[in-house]
Structure 1
Amino acid sequence: MSGFKRVLIILASVATVLALAVGGGALWLYSGAKVSTVGRGDFRNELAVPPLAESTVTADGTRVFDLRMQAGETEFQDGQKTPTWGFNGSYLGPTLRAERGEKVQVRVRNTLAEASNVHWHGMHLPATMDGGPQRMIAPGTTWSPSWKITQPAATLWYHPHPMGETEDHVQRGLAGMFILDDTASRALALPDTYGVNDLPVIVQDTKFDGARFVHAHGLTRTVGFLGDRTMVNGTLDPYKEVGDERVRLRLLNASTARTYDFGFDDSREFSLIGTDGGLLEKAAATDRIQLSPGERAEIVVRVRPGERTVLRSYPLDIGQDFYNQRFNGGDDTFDILELRAKKQLRRSPALPTALGKPEVPDGSHAVRGRSFDLALPGINGHKMNMGRVDETVTRGTTEIWTIRNNNGMPHNFHIHGLQFTVLSVNGREPRPALRGAKDTVFLPSGTTVKLAMRFDGPADPDTPYMYHCHLLSHEDQGMMGQFVVVEKGRKAGRPAATHTHQGH
């Protein structure tokens, strides 16, 4: 055999070995990317229920809350203290609660070593009070937004929204619920005792390296951070003992990138009674509810005396090929929360046949349409620029927005300051979970949604609201835009690139 042939044989052998190694490595990565916590947890920790925030009422009837952004340590795992942030505590924050028609003020003091802010997700309020990235709170200062509650009963939430750092600030623990009530919802025979048969369920995925959080995305994670376990209300392996036949769960996906497909381990039916913006017209029976980051749903589940049932997240289609489906969490399964029914349960009345009428437009009176294409790192080909107004809308009008995702990865779309109606998904009528009032909607790759919304103001040509992908890594990379609300015939002003509050 000639020397040349030997060289060829050696090179071919080396190439074969390298190909097998690369192929084997890819297979190893693919196999190891699937996560399941089914059967791994023992549900040994009682579910923490965020306290209802204390408030005072001023002489003019304003309900005043105080929130303090602070650093601390939280013991998620026995004997291990994790550095965290929270509102009025070391992790997460209290549940704020207010009534339709009330005027509220929230005094937010930042005791952190760096600037942050607070956005009132799902709230109808003036743009100056909304808490987008334009309005930062410097360390040692207080921001005191105030507004009137003008929308129906709903499960909302609050979280930071700093430019380029939202994912980090939320992962550290800055988040909490904001529940709205009204006269009509109070009159309904629904589970309504907070922390007993009406439970906040703030779901986050997380990962630990010893006592510390891991925030790294990993090279294959195009959606952002994905953890290998979940916690509810800051509780790992949680259980909740319940004493009523029917239990209301206010589900909030507070994860930064992961989409969940919630159901129960025995696939029992439950009743979907509300979405982002409040109650549905009537309850919808289902055994699954899908929530992407920022979305909420209110469900009522029936339990039998002495039984245990587990709220689980199942694999779901995120619109990607088998490889990226696996690496971006679509194949993962998580046991979220165990409900333990007491041996004797209080009787619960049947659910009402009618719940409420969502106060969102049907699109029939729309004055114009707009289109938005989602593709990292921006929207309609533009990265976020706080000095630029992307869209100008007229106060009191209804529009139809078409949102398209052909980016090859999942996105979702959140609009500040309002709720919208999902008119269609890929030209078809939306499923029941998308038929109520919404402020955030999931778009797997290859999805087009049409949304109807009304801009009830108030007009402010100089202060924008936001629209953006609520996968927070995508938001941080610039997948955001700004719109201002103006009176008819007026033009947008010139927003300040940013405003850091330097108050008392």
Structure 2
Amino acid sequence: MSRFKRILVVLGTAVTVIALAVGTLFTWLWTDADVSTVGDAPFDNELAIPPLAPSRLDGDGTRVFDLRMRSGHTEFEPGRRTPTWGFNGSYLGPTLRAQRGEKVRVRIHNGLDEASSVHWHGMHLPARMDGGPHQPIAPGATWTPHWTVDQPAATLWYHPHPHGATERHVRRGLAGLFLLDDERSARLDLPQRYGVDDLPVIVQDVRFDGARLDGDRGLMQNVGFLGDRTMVNGTLRPYAEVGDELIRLRLLNASTSRTYSFGFPDDRAFSLIATDGGLLERPAALERVQLSPGERAEIVVPMRAGERVMLRSFPQDNYGSAWQRRFSGGDDSFDVLELRAALRLRPSAEVPQVLGVLETPDGSDAVRGRHFDLKRSGINGRPMDMGRVDETVTRGTTEVWTVRNGNGMPHNFHVHDVQFRVLEVNGRTPPPALRGPKDTVFLPHGTVMKLALRFTGPADPDTPYMYHCHLLYHEDEGMMGQFVVVEKGRTAGNGRAATGSGHAHDH
């Protein structure tokens, strides 16, 4: 009996020690999991402005751009050369710019030692020109997509989309802006001088391992890679000197997994004038705008002479559980970009109270509805299969897609080719930040959104577009599906099985 008691004592002691160790480890992980760079260091590097890409006009009026994917080294800090990738340079790429109605052609040469692709995120264009995983560019090869710009003025972007490797290619530096203009936006009295009062703001989170860009996920980071500092346009601790009363910021979340809530420490109101696909009907006065990976927002910020004000990302309370907020980045804070106002500012016109005309459908003419359940293991229970068409839609029709996230972690949802309108969020009217044209939306756990999409073609039964989670780690794991656009009565071609989701219904 005494021996048995001794065994119980030893076992009890061991269990207690293990429990204490586990508890200590968890406490350490919990307290160490949130990240803040607020007030950490002076912002002493002038913001780099991506150059406007040169172009030429062919005999038929087509605007031609040249891009070259290449590897190189970038000095984010003086004297420390980091291996990076870029377009026409060592990191990121130039800003392409075109007018609505123009024909464009982009010659893309792959100077890397592995295949990649270039996707035009937010662009309405033929599926064969989309640059998704079905249009790989082999090392040393050149791909030349061409299309006619047929959508409103907007801040779009381009980035790689190779199947299973998108996160790594984007994180290494392959990304750039593609700005669209039109006659209506040109007539508006908004800040429009690129790099002066109209600033591109490409935000990425990074972590350095010596000179190398680290890409390892932390323990329990199920959304993907989360860095411990941010860059804007490839600039660490950036500041921008501005000389106007109103400054337009074209915000792009080019991070691979991190979601931001942008605002200012003094809670000043700014005007949201545009979302992913272009101008809102009317400006919305906001103090915060939340952007998940791939989303864009254009905001107009009032400045006071001589001030310095920090664009900051704040903690977010809509991330799901406390566990997800802590380990998936929702509790994190970042100083992002310091705006330094001149002692005397040029006067700016007031933000117009009428901006754009929404061309996205309102869902009233929808002919069909579909449901999409978001899970890390796949959408609607199926991981991505390059040889399977998941949905077939009819050219010229409008549909309502219901997207649900009950997966216990944050996701978002991006649809290629179309800009859509958010009809409902959890059964309610969407907030102002979701009332403009969108191609990517953030869905924290417990969110249901209804989206109205119109598919205007061209029809191509053989070449699919993608829909997927734009947390790129999730995309690479298989959280993606495919759809083709066909003429009425036709099916997916090229021997592909048009399976349907099993979640479709007449609307």
TM-score (norm 1): 0.97
- The whole-number CA distance in structure 1 between the counterparts of 2:38 and 2:424 is 35
Q: Number of aligned residue pairs: give it.
A: 497
Q: Deviations over 1:356-375 (max 9, x none)?
A: 11210000000010111111
- The whole-number CA distance in structure 2 between the counterparts of 1:210 and 1:72 is 17
- The whole-number CA distance in structure 2 between the counterparts of 1:39 and 1:348 is 30
- The whole-number CA distance in structure 2 between the counterparts of 1:446 and 1:398 is 26
| Structure 1 counterpart of 2:411, one-letter code | H
- The whole-number CA distance in structure 2 between the counterparts of 1:17 and 1:279 is 60
- The whole-number CA distance in structure 2 between the counterparts of 1:320 and 1:307 is 36
Pairwise CA distance, 1:325: 1.7
Counterpart for residue 484 of structure 1:
484
Counterpart for residue 413 of structure 1:
413
| Structure 2 counterpart of 1:374, one-letter code | L
| Structure 1 counterpart of 2:399, one-letter code | E
| Structure 2 counterpart of 1:23, one-letter code | G
Counterpart for residue 457 of structure 2:
457
Counterpart for residue 126 of structure 1:
126
Q: Deviations over 1:401-439 (max 9, x none)?
A: 000110111110000001000000010000000000000
| Matched ranges for 1:85-484 at <5 A | 85-484=85-484
- The whole-number CA distance in structure 2 between the counterparts of 1:364 and 1:14 is 66
Counterpart for residue 13 of structure 1:
13
| Structure 2 counterpart of 1:283, one-letter code | P
Pairwise CA distance, 1:37: 0.2
* SS of equivalent to 1:222: coil
Aligned residues of 1:96 and 1:178 also touching (Cα < 8 A): yes
Pairwise CA distance, 1:79: 1.0
* SS of equivalent to 2:474: helix
Pairwise CA distance, 1:495: 6.4
- The whole-number CA distance in structure 1 between the counterparts of 2:144 and 2:324 is 44
Pairwise CA distance, 1:7: 2.6
* SS of equivalent to 1:310: strand
- The whole-number CA distance in structure 1 between the counterparts of 2:204 and 2:160 is 15
Greater Cα shift, 368-377 or 290-299 = 368-377
Pairwise CA distance, 1:496: 7.8
Gaps of 5+ in 2: 498-507
- The whole-number CA distance in structure 2 between the counterparts of 1:183 and 1:319 is 39
Pairwise CA distance, 1:78: 1.9
Q: Deviations over 1:413-471 (max 9, x none)?
A: 00000100000001000000000000001100111100001000000000111100000
- The whole-number CA distance in structure 2 between the counterparts of 1:468 and 1:296 is 17
Aligned residues of 1:388 and 1:495 also touching (Cα < 8 A): no
RMSD: 1.1
Aligned residues of 2:402 and 2:451 also touching (Cα < 8 A): yes
Aligned residues of 2:45 and 2:238 also touching (Cα < 8 A): yes
Counterpart for residue 61 of structure 2:
61
| Structure 2 counterpart of 1:220, one-letter code | M
Counterpart for residue 37 of structure 1:
37
| Structure 2 counterpart of 1:203, one-letter code | V
- The whole-number CA distance in structure 1 between the counterparts of 2:68 and 2:155 is 22
Counterpart for residue 74 of structure 1:
74
Pairwise CA distance, 1:318: 4.3
- The whole-number CA distance in structure 1 between the counterparts of 2:452 and 2:302 is 34
Gaps of 5+ in 1: 498-504
Aligned residues of 1:387 and 1:494 also touching (Cα < 8 A): no
TM-score (norm 2): 0.97
Aligned residues of 1:386 and 1:495 also touching (Cα < 8 A): no
The runs of at least 4 consecutive aligned structure 1 residues that moved more than 4 Å come to: none
* SS of equivalent to 1:22: helix
* SS of equivalent to 1:16: helix
Question: How has the CA–CA distance of structure 1 residues 185 and 363 changed in structure 2, closer, same or farther, with 3 Å as cutoff?
Answer: same
